[in-house]
Structure 1
Amino acid sequence: MSAKTSTTGSDGFTAEERAAMKERAAELRAEGRKGAKRADGLQAVLDRIAQMEPEDRALAERVHVTVTATAPDLAPKTWYGMPAYANEDGKIVVFFQDSAKFNYRYSTLGFQDTANLDDGDLWPVAYALRAWSPEVEKRVVELVKAAVS
């Protein structure tokens, strides 16, 4: 990974990534009421991520970038104080729960019942997330694509 996308430290988003997200929020606000609501949701997610412990923050940032790139139609918003991404009906599809939220030993990537992950009579809807790697990113992309299909 390049230094720009490295998530092994607590550096968080690069200055370029932060600037791009602020520009996007401003564009959404300029689109009117619906865009302003989406921009407010994005800002709430970014603020919540900024409050996390360094390891959780690094994971949450990568999840945010991956979900928004993979499923740009999902709207970022907070849900029970967690970064989450909702469909156009406003229903949560995917969320990130940092390990500090309930003092767990791992963060969680979770999916709500609106996610299209059905596989027979039993399938996982939550995943322990302890580190980010190319393999983890690939799997998250696959899950998000399936969830919104």
Structure 2
Amino acid sequence: MSAKSTTTGSNGFSAEERAAMKERADELRAEGKKGAKKADGLQAVLDRIAQMEPEDRALAERVHVTVTAAAPALTPKTWYGMPAYANEDGKIVVFFQDSGKFNYRYSTVGFQDPANLDDGDFWPVAYALQQWSPAVEKKITELVRTAVS
């Protein structure tokens, strides 16, 4: 079944969550140049998520909440038009690619070189994501925490 026709079990961000993220972006802008850059990155990610098809948007919103909770030191920004999260050096650690980006049947959560996921000579760096669940949230949380460790 394609990601376009599945449900995520999530209604996405609540009005309260959206308001809190907007307030946080405003706070970051008020902190000065560095804070403004973070706020602009956060706003770009939220804007990109808002442009997605409903099924992808609900997944992206859950990924955003999970990544920012698991690794608050990562900075949201867009990367090749995708929501992404960078380390303090500005290098992308994790990203979300919606299924609509390249007309795939599933969305993807992927990791770049700075992610500390190395496991011998062969390990996964991207995961297909079709539906959100507590098990998916747990796995993504574990991967993100390991990636930034």
The alignment's TM-score, normalised by the length of structure 2, stands at 0.94
- List runs of 5+ in structure 1 lacking aligned partners: 1-6
Q: Match for residue 13 of structure 1?
A: 13
* Paired-residue identity, %: 85
- List runs of 5+ in structure 2 lacking aligned partners: 1-7
Shift of 1:47: 0.1
Q: Give SS of 2:110's match.
A: strand
Q: Match for residue 136 of structure 1?
A: 136
The alignment's TM-score, normalised by the length of structure 1, stands at 0.94
2-side partners of 1:54 and 1:26: how far apart?
26
Query: Over residues 35-74 of structure 1, what are the superposed CA-to-partner deviations in whole Å (9 max), with x where a residue is unaligned?
Result: 0000000000000000000000000000000000110000
Shift of 1:12: 2.3
Q: Match for residue 22 of structure 2?
A: 22
CA RMSD of aligned residues (A): 0.8
Higher relative contact order (CA 8 A, sep 6+): 2
Q: Match for residue 3 of structure 2?
A: none
Q: Match for residue 122 of structure 1?
A: 122
Q: Give SS of 2:69's match.
A: helix
Q: Match for residue 61 of structure 2?
A: 61
Query: Over residues 4-40 of structure 1, what are the superposed CA-to-partner deviations in whole Å (9 max), with x where a residue is unaligned?
Result: xxx525x321000001001100110011000000000
The number of residue pairs the alignment matches comes to 142
2-side partners of 1:89 and 1:113: how far apart?
13
Q: Give SS of 1:128's match.
A: strand
Q: Give SS of 2:113's match.
A: coil
Deviating above 2 A after TM superposition, structure 1's stretches of 4 or more consecutive aligned residues are: none
Q: Match for residue 87 of structure 2?
A: 87
Q: Give SS of 1:60's match.
A: helix
